[in-house]
């Protein structure tokens, strides 16, 4: 920075780094946004649908992840462009709010920006395009409600929920049933609310994916502290502790001088007295199992065995909360506060081991409050376990969405085609420039069925034209792309369902992000870096 004067003697400042800045404005900036968004959307298109291809993601450390889950792919991609990062955030928002449709929302946003580019070339102002998109999204969401069907289900009729969960799990019938039963175990059906935090997903390498099971209780990746502890306990009363099994340590600096054997014995006896007092307080409360957040040394461990008090150490805070919820116990922060009323109750606590590796885990079952469950996933390697965990998360979210709102639309791109036709028809009745943006929105909606058809090995344009014509002539909004090759275009016959709120959120989120991007017409980069 330097100070200079003009011909009239007025001072002005010269910024020396001005030449290092790169600035893109107007149409060039908007087109650069479109290019970045198209690159991300095109990478995601091939992962859409049941026949979508997987992506192999290699981290800087060499860890390999193989998945076709949109949120996971984008989260692990090394994205530098800021507009592309907005699409990553879009996918995360869809995943956090709905849990499903993370790939479709990015594909739709990319298609909307791609069609906006041709409108910009025709001289239409980006604000008018954004307004047209918003009008079209409103019409599409209303049309989704009109074509949705209500599925009737109940505690004795969970088949419709299983069919919908299978849509995002492919053909894994057993996994879909586990997901539905887990959601129903923790759901508050009166309030139509589900707390997914009550469902713990635990994985263990070994066995087959078919060995995955739902446990009405908690599974801990721990074992009893002492190897001589009985491996199965019944009618358990457990003390859930966040205080350590050790003598208290002064907060100030201190030292102990041990000058004789008597001093050492006195110190050891005092320490033993602390341990005995702790164990006595637990035993006096009636507890038959101690679960501790912290560790304890061999001396305390031996003393617990002598007093016939099984214990588990180093249990995480999240697990402690789940155990407290499941067993109806209270988390106890100090030994002085242990009372019989604060103990959790469980019918069985058992230790299980696996194969030749002798890995051990604890299972807490028959709890007083069954509203906390664990899905225990088995698999041959870590990669399969992680993908199964992601698929199961999608199925849990879909089932939760159906409990919140039991309206569904049918899959295979059928709602996108139906909404595309509805928006095109509405655009003909709009006299302003927004009609061009509305038609562009209608064309962008076809990107999803086009990608589904292409990923399924069909001639994409020809298949889409056929299905679109059939929807008009037969007046059947359930016709979509037969990605599963079952010989019928009718998605209702194939039991391919999507929750209504998932599809609505896709349309609205994609439109809002595209509207935001279209309003960015000035990009300043310092030193060529974003």
The set of catalytic residues is 69, 102-103, 394
- Computed on alpha carbons and rounded to an integer, the radius of gyration of the chain in Å comes to 30
Element (H, E) at 424: helix 414-427
Point out which residues pair with 195 in neighbouring strands.
none
For 210, 403, 430, 460, 511, the CA distances from 503, given in Å and listed in that order, are 31, 16, 25, 22, 13
**Main-chain dihedrals φ then ψ at residue 258, nearest 5 degrees:** -105, 110
Provide the CB-side half-sphere exposure for 503 (13 A, CA).
29
Q: How far apart are CA 143 and CA 423, in angstroms?
A: 9
Q: Is 442 helix (H, G, I), strand (E, B) or coil?
A: helix
For 100, 102, 111, 138, the CA distances from 93, given in Å and listed in that order, are 10, 9, 19, 20
Q: Are 103 and 409 in contact (CB under 8 A)?
A: no
For 38, 86, 275, 497, 511, the CA distances from 524, given in Å and listed in that order, are 21, 17, 65, 45, 25
Q: How far apart are CA 343 and CA 518, in angstroms?
A: 58
- Nearest Cα neighbor of 53 from 379, 454, 460 is 454
Q: How far apart are CA 226 and CA 234, in angstroms?
A: 18
Instruction: Identify each DSSP E strand in 7-142 by its residue range.
Output: 11-14, 21-25, 55-58, 64-67
Q: Is 148 helix (H, G, I), strand (E, B) or coil?
A: coil
Q: Are 106 and 41 in contact (CB under 8 A)?
A: yes
For 100, 207, 221, the CA distances from 300, given in Å and listed in that order, are 48, 36, 22
**Buried-exposed string 89-109: b where 16+ CB fall within 10 A, e elsewhere:** ebbebbbeebbbbbbbbbbbb
- Nearest Cα neighbor of 463 from 481, 451, 445, 443 is 481
Element (H, E) at 403: helix 382-404
Q: Are 120 and 514 in contact (CB under 8 A)?
A: no
Query: Which structure tokens are listed for 80?
Result: 């530098």
Provide the CB-side half-sphere exposure for 107 (13 A, CA).
23
- Distance from the Cα of residue 10 to its chain's centroid: 60
Point out which residues pair with 23 in neighbouring strands.
524
């Amino acid at each position: 920075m330097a100070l200079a004067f003009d011909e009239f003697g007025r001072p002005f400042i010269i910024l020396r780094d001005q030449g290092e800045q790169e600035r893109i404005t107007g149409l060039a900036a908007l087109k650069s946004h479109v290019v970045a968004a198209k690159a991300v959307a095109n990478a995601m298109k091939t992962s859409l649908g049941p026949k979508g291809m997987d992506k192999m993601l290699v981290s800087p450390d060499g860890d390999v992840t193989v998945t076709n889950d949109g949120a996971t792919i984008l989260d692990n991609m090394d994205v530098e462009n800021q507009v592309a990062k907005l699409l990553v955030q879009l996918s995360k928002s869809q995943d956090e709010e709905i849990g499903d449709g993370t790939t479709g929302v990015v594909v739709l946003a990319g298609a909307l920006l791609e069609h906006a580019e041709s409108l910009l070339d025709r001289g239409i102002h980006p604000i008018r395009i954004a307004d047209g998109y918003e009008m079209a999204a409103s019409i599409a969401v209303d049309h989704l409600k009109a074509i949705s069907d209500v599925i009737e289900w109940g505690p004795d009729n969970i088949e419709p929920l299983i069919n919908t969960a299978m849509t995002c799990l492919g053909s894994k019938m057993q996994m879909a049933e586990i997901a539905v039963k887990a959601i129903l175990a923790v759901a508050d059906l009166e309030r139509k609310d589900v707390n997914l935090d009550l469902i713990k997903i635990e994985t263990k390498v070994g066995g087959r994916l078919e060995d995955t099971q739902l446990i009405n209780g908690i599974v801990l990746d721990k074992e009893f502290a002492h190897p001589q502890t009985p491996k199965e306990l019944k009618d358990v009363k457990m003390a859930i502790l966040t205080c350590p099994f050790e003598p208290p340590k002064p907060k100030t600096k201190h030292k102990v001088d041990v000058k004789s054997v008597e001093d050492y014995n006195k110190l050891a006896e005092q320490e033993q007295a602390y341990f005995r007092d702790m164990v006595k307080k637990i035993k006096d409360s009636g507890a038959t199992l101690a679960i501790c957040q912290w560790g304890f040394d061999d001396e305390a461990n031996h003393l617990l065995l002598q007093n016939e008090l099984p214990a588990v150490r180093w249990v995480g805070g999240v697990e402690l909360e789940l155990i407290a919820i499941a067993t109806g116990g209270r988390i106890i922060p100090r030994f002085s506060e242990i009372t019989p009323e604060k103990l959790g109750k469980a019918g069985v606590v058992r230790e299980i081991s696996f194969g030749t590796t002798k890995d051990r885990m604890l299972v807490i079952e028959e709890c007083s409050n069954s509203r906390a469950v664990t899905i225990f996933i088995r698999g041959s390697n870590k990669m399969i376990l992680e993908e199964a965990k992601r698929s199961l998360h999608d199925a849990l979210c879909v089932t939760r969405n159906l409990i919140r709102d039991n309206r569904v639309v049918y899959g295979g791109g059928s709602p996108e085609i139906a909404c595309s036709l509805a928006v095109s028809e509405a655009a003909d009745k709009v006299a302003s420039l927004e009609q061009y943006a509305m038609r562009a929105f209608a064309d962008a909606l076809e990107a999803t069925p086009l990608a589904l058809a292409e990923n399924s090995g069909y001639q994409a344009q020809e298949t889409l034209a056929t299905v679109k014509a059939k929807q008009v002539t037969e007046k059947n909004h359930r016709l979509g792309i037969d990605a599963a090759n079952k010989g019928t275009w009718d998605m209702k016959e194939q039991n391919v369902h999507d929750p209504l709120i998932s599809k609505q959120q896709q349309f609205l989120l994609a439109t809002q992000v595209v509207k935001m991007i279209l309003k960015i017409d000035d990009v300043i980069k310092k030193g060529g870096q974003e």
